[in-house]
Structure 1
Amino acid sequence: MNKPTSKLRSALVPLVLAMLLAGCATSAVVDSASLPATPAAFKENAGAVAASSVVSEAQGLWWTVFADPVLDQLVEQASRNNNSVQVAAGRLAQARALAGQTDANRFPQIGIGAGATRQKNSTTNNVAQTVVSAGANLSYEVDLFGKLSGASNAASLDAASREALLRSAQLLVQADVAQTYLGLRAIDAERSLVRDTLQAYRNTLRLTEVRFKEGDVAELDVARVRSEVASTESEALALDQRRAVLEHALAVLVGQAASSFQVAPAEWATALPVIPAGVPSTVLTRRPDISAAQNTMQAAQARIGVAKAAWFPTFSLTANGGYAAPEIRDLFKLSTQAWGVGALLSLPIFDGGRREAGVQGANADLSIALANYREQVLVAFRDVEDQLSALRLLAEQAEAQSRSVASSSRATLLSDSRYRNGFVSQLELLDAQRSELRNRRQALQVKAAQYLATVGLIRALGGGWA
């Protein structure tokens, strides 16, 4: 065996051994037992027929199921102008740029350069000399142990996580716009009811004052009606203040100044969609926040492999070539050519525990990401169960409140008849009217809660239910 061959084999021994150990640099495997258990169906849907075959018209543009053109316009404006969405879009662009930078390390790096130096040394007999040069260089790190590909994969998963967070921000803003707008329309309906009642009280007050002047009623009756008018005026003004706050909040959501934004009062004609029973729990897999947490966990897994790969040698190939001459006119002559190729194997021996700390840090990051993923899944199930139970109980409450409104309306009618015939005092009539107004307002509030819970459920399901 000749000496050059023997030397070559001796030089390759560390590299071969490192390649045999490369399996140690693979990403960590997450134990499935550490992941949260996911039931096949929601508790609130127990016994319902599975709705996995139902095609949801809400998929994507889910807010259109409310059939409200004003809501459609507001959501569209928020999608374009909302600052939270724009921040999330900017962070996605940052993540994609970082992924591109990381992935670029896997490819050859080529550069060109030119320069001129003025030098004086013993080789030139202490005579100053100008050297002009021009050339190109190439470097390429061979990814033997997956360090570069692992880093690139982790960065791509980070970008995917940011993309999911952008979708999550969009869904959150869309739901906030819908809930704020529906709350505003509920206030409009309540304001209309209170102002109609206020007008009726004012008419009653005028009639009572006339009767008092004619001596038909006592001053006490006038004072009672005046008190009722003032109290109802106060309630109407409180509703005006609540509407203004909601309108200002809506302005921020759609990216406009509150001073120049206005939603005109209108009749509450928004449709209330019915989400079918038996929605399978698998729809939660499309929730963007869960997708983001999952991608973050997978990125942390990949970075463990990158951290372990730091224990193994790096192997790089280099090449350079160009020209160097004392005069520019001689620069590209054949005699001024120069080139070189090389290979570099680098194996760190002692680093004071830096690589071990890197592996420990990567493992800690994975533990955090795994815990965040578990928490996100549990929160998702809680959100859905909260809204499902809210809708079920609100439906029962709406039915009970409807009976209450009907009864109080009948009581007001009877009290008015008895008062006109002199069988009861005005106090009994006012009590009946006050009770009817309270029950009608509560009915509107229950209706508003049903709308808000419906939006909350659609958001909890990830923007649809099929």
Structure 2
Amino acid sequence: MKFKLLGSMLAVALLAGCATHSDIQSHAKLRTPSQFSEIPAEVQAGWQVQAGYWKQFGDPQLDALVAEALADSPSLAAADARIRRAAALTDAAHSALLPQLSGNADVMAQRFTEHGMVSPTYAGKFRTNDRLALDASIDLDLWGKYRRALQGAEAGRKLAELESVAARQALAANVVRAYLEYDRLYKQRALLEHLMALRMEAERLQSIRFQAGLDPEIDRNQLQQGTAQLRVDSAQLDERISLQRGLLAALAGKGPERGEQLSAPRLNDNLDAHLPSVLPSDLLAGRPDLLASRWRVEAASADMDVARAQFYPSVNLSAFAGYSSIGLENLLKPGSQIYGIGPSIHLPIFEAGRLRAGLAMKVADYDAAVEQYNANLVDALRDVSDQARSLTEAEHQGQLAETSLAASQRGVTLIETRASKGLANKINVISAQMAVVAQQRVQTDLRAHRLDSAAGLMRALGGGFAPDYNPYTLAASAQ
């Protein structure tokens, strides 16, 4: 009869739970890259970003800066602390599935009532009420509440790990891009010094021609104005190089003195950047930030299931064994032994408002996590597309600049030929040479743009991170 009553209570509670939360459902839907038409149909598998992609630039100083940044950055240390916290939460969630055993000793000195169920031997007397026992319990987890909580904690741990990877990739990318700018500024300063030397030589020759009465003073004045402006440009470049050193030192987690130790960059001069002819079909499978967003959805889904399981009864099996007595001197006597075992059931009867509110919050959290993932997916696709387009355009612009530079160099040859025949002077030759340097400055900027776009594309494709699972298979199964 008792078992029938218990079964009836469980059935009623289960039906009540199903009836009270069925209207609280999620409406968010996960999206996958295959749903977007922006992915080119000709994209194929085969090309992968290599870990440590910045090493292809061939500059040991850059390698050292990235290594220092990944070793000493406070932001990465904070990310590692979040991983340890998530691991501790996972251990705590796992322990809820295991039997709990504790040893308890209680010695309570008290006066026993004279008007209760107490032996006349102790009634009205002041004695100790003692208990020494092992207490054990286990939650049967009939509705999977603790199992889903464990899965949610594991998803949170993976989320923290991927956020740490994403932070490392972002930091490395920032160091690389800052160093490419550092290299560009150095190259521009060298070209500016060359241009200034040519202009000063032209100014000297123009002064001789002016003193000889061959040229008007306005020609010399125009050259002087140009030289003065180049000095201003040189001072501005020196300032920007100094600031760039400070930025690199800060990214490496060091003080300003580290920036002062930096020498001139030594990037591989033969290195150029082109869009790969083959890109991976799972373009975004290696982006740790997007994978982190996916695991945030998994954690929110588990939290939602845990909140839903709160509507159902929980069954706990408890047992104890030990000694109990009145009077400490009687505690370990054979007749003081106690033991027992039995279930306990918690039925949420008048808690519907609290439980519904809790479930509604978790469903809202899940929907927010899904939509944030969808937004991150769109941003990631745009990021890859923008970097690839920028690299393609930079390559095209570089080809145009090559044509312009060749024309300028041809101009120097032609004017030198005219000068050898007395049809042009040395100032004309220097002017043609300055035009070449101006084109070289443009080409330097475009090369830096190509390298920066290439580095940006490698970052956008995950920076060499290679997960051992496909998150989009997981996403599709959750639809």
- TM-score normalised to structure 1 length: 0.86
Distance apart, 1:20 and its partner CA: 8.1
Alignment of 1:33-112 (within 5 A): 35-36=31-32, 38=34, 47=42, 50=44, 52-54=45-47, 56=48, 58-112=49-103
Distance apart, 1:233 and its partner CA: 1.3
Aligned partners of 2:183 and 2:267 also within 8 Å: yes
Equivalent in the alignment of 2:177: 179
Distance apart, 1:256 and its partner CA: 0.5
Between the aligned partners of 2:161 and 2:386, the Cα distance in structure 1 is: 27
Between the aligned partners of 2:235 and 2:144, the Cα distance in structure 1 is: 68
Tell me the amino acid that sits aligned with residue 444 of structure 1. Answer: T
State the Cα deviation string for residues 330-350 of structure 1 (Å, max 9, x = none). 543323322332311111111
Aligned partners of 1:46 and 1:278 also within 8 Å: no
Question: Cα distance 1:119–1:37, how it changes in 2: closer, same or farther (>3 A)?
Answer: same
Equivalent in the alignment of 1:369: 369
Between the aligned partners of 2:62 and 2:38, the Cα distance in structure 1 is: 30
State the Cα deviation string for residues 163-191 of structure 1 (Å, max 9, x = none). 11111111111111111111111111111
Where 1:134 maps in the other structure, the secondary structure is strand
Question: Which of 229, 232, 238 matches 2:230?
Answer: 232
Matched, 1:378 2:378: yes
Matched, 1:13 2:8: yes
Aligned partners of 1:189 and 1:268 also within 8 Å: no
Distance apart, 1:360 and its partner CA: 1.7
Distance apart, 1:421 and its partner CA: 7.8
Between the aligned partners of 2:198 and 2:135, the Cα distance in structure 1 is: 90
Matched, 1:355 2:366: no
Alignment of 1:51-450 (within 5 A): 52-54=45-47, 56=48, 58-122=49-113, 123=118, 124-209=122-207, 219-261=217-259, 262-269=261-268, 271-272=271-272, 274-325=274-325, 330-351=330-351, 353-412=353-412, 414=414, 432=432, 435-450=435-450
Between the aligned partners of 2:66 and 2:26, the Cα distance in structure 1 is: 40
Question: Cα distance 1:22–1:99, how it changes in 2: closer, same or farther (>3 A)?
Answer: farther
Q: How large is the RMSD of aligned CA atoms in angstroms?
A: 3.3
Where 2:276 maps in the other structure, the secondary structure is coil
Between the aligned partners of 1:289 and 1:30, the Cα distance in structure 2 is: 24
Aligned partners of 1:41 and 1:280 also within 8 Å: no
Distance apart, 1:76 and its partner CA: 1.4
Between the aligned partners of 1:109 and 1:297, the Cα distance in structure 2 is: 31
Equivalent in the alignment of 1:3: none
Where 2:315 maps in the other structure, the secondary structure is strand
Distance apart, 1:41 and its partner CA: 8.6
Distance apart, 1:200 and its partner CA: 2.9
Where 1:143 maps in the other structure, the secondary structure is coil
**Structure 1 stretch 441-450 or stretch 274-283: which is displaced more?**
274-283
Tell me the amino acid that sits aligned with residue 298 of structure 1. Answer: E
State the Cα deviation string for residues 401-439 of structure 1 (Å, max 9, x = none). 111122233435555776798867898677655543332
**Structure 1 stretch 229-238 or stretch 456-465: which is displaced more?**
456-465
Aligned partners of 1:284 and 1:380 also within 8 Å: yes
**Structure 1 stretch 175-184 or stretch 66-75: which is displaced more?**
66-75
Question: Cα distance 1:403–1:81, how it changes in 2: closer, same or farther (>3 A)?
Answer: same
Aligned partners of 2:73 and 2:253 also within 8 Å: yes
Where 1:136 maps in the other structure, the secondary structure is strand
Question: Cα distance 1:164–1:23, how it changes in 2: closer, same or farther (>3 A)?
Answer: farther
Aligned partners of 1:81 and 1:254 also within 8 Å: yes
Between the aligned partners of 1:117 and 1:260, the Cα distance in structure 2 is: 66
Note the residue ranges of structure 2 that are not aligned, 5 or more in a row: 467-479
Aligned partners of 1:300 and 1:369 also within 8 Å: yes
Where 1:285 maps in the other structure, the secondary structure is coil
- TM-score normalised to structure 2 length: 0.84
